Amino acid sequence: MSTESEPPKVQEEVDSSSQSISKKAAKKEAAKKAKEERRKEAEAAASAASALSIEEEGPLANNYGDVPLQELQSVNDPQTGKWSEAVSGREWTEVGALNGSLKDQEVLIRGRVHTTRPVGNKLAFVVVRERVSTVQCLATVKPDSVSKEMVRFVRSLSNESIVDVIGVVSVPDVEIKGATQQVEVQIKKLYCVSRAAKTPITIEDASRSEAEIEKASKEGVQLPRVNQDTRLNNRVIDIRTLANQGIFRIQSQVGNIFRQFLLSENFVEIHTPKLIAGSSEGGSAVFRLDYKGQSACLAQSPQLHKQMSICGDFGRVFETGPVFRAEDSYTHRHLCEFTGLDVEMEIKKHYSEVMDIVDCLFVTIFDSLNNVCKKELEAVAKQYPFEPLKYKPKTLRLTFEEGVQMLKDAGVEIDPLGDLNTESERKLGQLVLEKYGTEFYILHRYPLAVRPFYTMPCHDNSLYSNSFDVFIREDVIYLRGVNKSGYVTGMNSLPIVEGEEIISGAQRIHIPEFLAERAQACGIDVKTISTYIDSFRYGAPPHGGFGVGLERVVMLFCGLNNIRKTSLYPRDPLRIAP
């Protein structure tokens, strides 16, 4: 126990007892008393624990009840409780694994009370939910196992409580509409592991699709719609919906395939610091803090450090980690903190080597999601319907000039050396879909002027650059946000975003003198980025890379309308909790 939590009176007693007690003795005495206190506290905790247990009376009382805390603390020692005895030697079966092949077998399942429905005094239905699966369970009075009191107990269970059910699997003749599993469990024993208080939002309301609400509305019924903020305020309940269970398992799979693919291509995973030295030049999009008396900020991308790692002979590197943006953006696709998937690699001959990685990487991710996450994608689509992403085994690549020409042919005139705005990006996406039948493509050879200063110009025309953007569903995958003028955050940091994010991958300039020259030409004080430029002085291989926002990939693949749906605990300018 640290000194902070010692009861002050202990100290006082020692102080007043005698002047002859040395400081050391006083300290010893205090420690002894503190130890006594500690013992008392722990004993109080133990008695509180047993006070929470609930005992029921009745002849078949052993078959149901609330599990006392003491049993949940350990079931391995000599079994003293009815739950401990009931589950002893048994394995839990996952609700999702319940099917006809288990007919007439006794199973033990754990899940939440999704709904309960009483039928008269002697019967109660309870739908038990575990992650994305639900099963209908049935408690009916039977002289040898189920008492009237037990049925009453089952009916009294609050939704979202967690229960252990032991019962026999049966296969009804008719389809079960209210559950995913097409079997029933005839309850023999049921114990409540955790009681739920009344939830501020219900899973039923939070799981409803827009279509259901509209359909009911046409029939004159107003069903509740849970808005985004209410969901996020009650995230611990909201993420229990089937759609959310699906979304975050899909997100986990994207991260997994991202890494597995890159590891198989000889990339090394690195972890770069998020705390970066730097002061006030960085513009408004930087979170600043005091670092032991030095001014510091949170990294807006691992750009500097991943390039340093290439100069440090790692050859090919990747990182998945948080990226911080203090922008005042209140759109459906901006977050103040998101998960960046970043890649940097040596180039032997041409920046198309980087596009080759992007191409294979994303096709592998998409293929894998469609194969491995079928159930999860269905769960998402049930609440938020979407068409599967159209993409090709070999990703379409267009040059920026070709894109401009396609727009021109369709009557859209844009600055051939400017950037695409959201509107022309969308239009181009439509044209590409019509002409090539894909919603996923790469646009490369962007005008140099719209890319950050460290982008390598093209060899044949320095108005263009060895860079690319990746488009998905007429939108752009959130990547590195880099503004055109190349804002910098200080000595150890790099150009950052202000304004509209763009995707960007590119070959970087690896020659320090040329880099300094380009920085200067873009109006950047070279002194503020000396660490960055110096990294290239001791031999730097030609290299390039790209970055992607994990939440954005999941959002666009699933055709969702808000980035907050794919961030577990999102952060935006108005939200820093929970």
Interacting residues with a copy of itself between 441 and 470 (CB under 8 A): 448-450, 456-463, 466
Q: Does 93 bind a copy of itself (CB under 8 A)?
A: no
Size of the site for a copy of itself (CB under 8 A): 150
Query: Are 244 and 238 spatial neighbours (Cβ–Cβ below 8 Å)?
Result: yes
- Please report whether residue 77 would count as binding a copy of itself according to CB under 8 A: yes
Task: Please state, in angstroms and rounded to a whole number, the distance separating the CA atoms of residues 214 and 61.
Answer: 47
**E strand intervals along 455-525:** 467-472, 475-476, 505-508
Amino acid code (one letter) for 493: S
Q: Which of residues 95-114 bind a copy of itself (CB under 8 A)?
A: 110, 112
Q: How far apart are CA 61 and CA 152, in angstroms?
A: 12
Q: Is 535 a catalytic residue?
A: no
- Residue 12 known to be catalytic: no
Instruction: Please name which of 503, 506, 508 lies closest in space to residue 475, comparing C-alpha atoms.
Output: 503
CA atoms of 58 and 367, how far apart (whole Å): 57
Considering only the stretches 9-17, 63-71, 97-105, 171-179, report the one whose residues sit in contact with a copy of itself under the rule CB under 8 A: 63-71
Q: Nearest approach, Cβ of 282 to a copy of itself (angstroms)?
A: 12
Distance CA 451, CA 149 (A): 72
Please give the structure tokens belonging to residue 103: 């007919």
Binders in 305-344 for a copy of itself, by CB under 8 A: 305, 308-309, 311-315, 320-322, 324, 326, 328, 336-337, 339
Q: Which of 39, 215, 332, 382 binds a copy of itself (CB under 8 A)?
A: 39
Whether 156 sits among the annotated catalytic residues: the reply is no
Rule CB under 8 A: say whether 194 interacts with a copy of itself.
Answer: yes
- Is 119 a binding residue for a copy of itself by CB under 8 A? The answer is no
The sign of the CA dihedral 358, 361, 364, 368 is negative
- Give the tokens for residue 102: 């288990």
CB closer to a copy of itself out of 270 and 560: 270
Residues 354-413 that bind a copy of itself (CB under 8 A): none
Is 265 part of the annotated catalytic residue set? Answer: no
Q: Which of 55, 263, 280, 332 binds a copy of itself (CB under 8 A)?
A: 263
Q: How far apart, in Å, are the Cα atoms of 22 and each of 27, 30, 34, 49, 542?
A: 9, 12, 18, 40, 70
| Distances 231 to 95, 113, 237, 238 between C-alpha atoms, Å | 26, 20, 8, 6
Q: Which listed residue (145, 301, 504, 535) is catalytic? A: 504
Catalytic residue flag (residue 332): no
**352 counts as binding a copy of itself under rule CB under 8 A:** yes
Annotated active-site residue 402? The verdict is no
CB of 155 to a copy of itself, least distance (A): 17
Cα–Cα dist 439/467, whole Å: 20
d(Cα 321, Cα 314) in Å, to the nearest integer?
Answer: 18
Nearer to a copy of itself, 216 or 289 (CB): 289
Q: Is the dihedral of CA 394, 399, 405, 408 positive or negative?
A: positive
- Span near a copy of itself by CB under 8 A; candidates 15-23, 34-42, 135-143, 355-363: 34-42
Q: Binding residue for a copy of itself (CB under 8 A) from 350, 392, 397, 426?
A: 350
Shortest separation between residue 145's beta carbon and a copy of itself, angstroms: 23
Residue 272 to residue 266: CA distance in whole angstroms = 19
H or E element in which residue 342 lies: strand 337-346
Marked catalytic residue, from 160, 327, 439, 498? 327
* Signed CA dihedral, 345, 349, 355, 356: sign only: negative
> Of residues 114, 208, 333, 518, which has the active-site annotation?
333
Give catalytic status of residue 504 as yes or no: yes
Choose one: 177-185, 188-196, 213-221, 379-387; the region binding a copy of itself (CB under 8 A). 188-196
* Least Cβ distance, residue 537 to a copy of itself (angstroms): 5
Residue 140 lies near a copy of itself (rule: CB under 8 A) = no
Q: Which residues contact 157 (CB under 8 A, 6 or more apart)?
A: 113, 116, 126, 163, 192
Choose which of 14, 98, 276, 496 interacts with a copy of itself (CB under 8 A): 276
When asked if residue 531 is in the footprint of a copy of itself (CB under 8 A), the reply is yes
Query: Which residues are known to be catalytic?
Result: 325, 327, 333-334, 501, 504, 552
